[in-house]
């Protein structure tokens, strides 16, 4: 069912031979997991990330372009135990995602399919898919940080 929801170029990654990791997520008493971006060349790898709710219900939060107050949009959807969702395309690459769980001991499983290429010239490169969207936000954050340091005595 998840495959039918994805654009064709991403649904092609949902094959057993392209599964690169199965990663358990344990909330361990934390009902809220802050919105974050999975860094494709670090511990947030996977062109397509499928999350299966093993135990507990949650609301999944998505924040599109959080660095731009004019373009920012927040979304959420419920995820019940036994259901799954996929992060791919803009939902994976342009949005932050977080979790607000009903049970602070919720458990889920991430299935990570495919790897982003390190070279910007290759298909599904980390730069083209993810990093180019965040460059402006990263530069803005650096400027804010630099300004804060300059204001301190």
Torsion (CA) 111, 24, 30, 42 in degrees, nearest 10: -60
- Return per-residue pLDDT of the chain as tens, 153 residues: 778 888 899 999 999 999 999 999 998 999 999 898 888 887 789 999 999 999 999 999 999 888 788 888 999 999 999 999 999 988 888 889 999 999 999 999 999 999 988 888 888 888 888 887 776 544 444 444 344 444 444
DSSP string, 105-145: T-EEEEEEE---BSSTTSTTBHIIIIIHHHHHHHHHHHHHH
pLDDT at 136: 57
C-alpha pair distances (Å), 67 with each of 4, 15, 39, 50, 134: 31, 34, 17, 25, 9
Report pTM. Answer: 0.82
Distance CA 40, CA 103 (A): 29
pLDDT at 23: 94
For residue 42, the tally of other CB atoms under 10 A from its CB is 8
Encoding tokens for residue 15? 């094959």
């Amino acid at each position: 069912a998840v495959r039918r929801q994805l654009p064709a170029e991403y649904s092609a990654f949902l094959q057993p031979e392209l599964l690169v990791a199965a990663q358990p997520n344990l909330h361990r008493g934390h009902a809220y997991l802050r919105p974050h971006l999975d860094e494709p060349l670090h511990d947030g790898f996977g062109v397509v990330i499928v999350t299966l709710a093993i135990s507990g219900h949650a609301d999944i939060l998505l924040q599109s372009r959080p660095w731009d107050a004019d373009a920012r949009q927040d979304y959420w959807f419920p995820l019940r135990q036994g259901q799954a969702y996929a992060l791919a395309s803009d939902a994976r690459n342009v949005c932050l995602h977080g979790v607000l769980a009903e049970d602070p001991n919720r458990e889920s499983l991430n299935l990570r399919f495919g790897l982003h290429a390190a070279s910007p010239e290759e298909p599904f490169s980390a730069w083209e898919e993810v990093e180019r969207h965040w460059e402006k936000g990263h530069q803005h954050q650096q400027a804010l940080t630099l300004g804060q340091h300059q204001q301190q005595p």
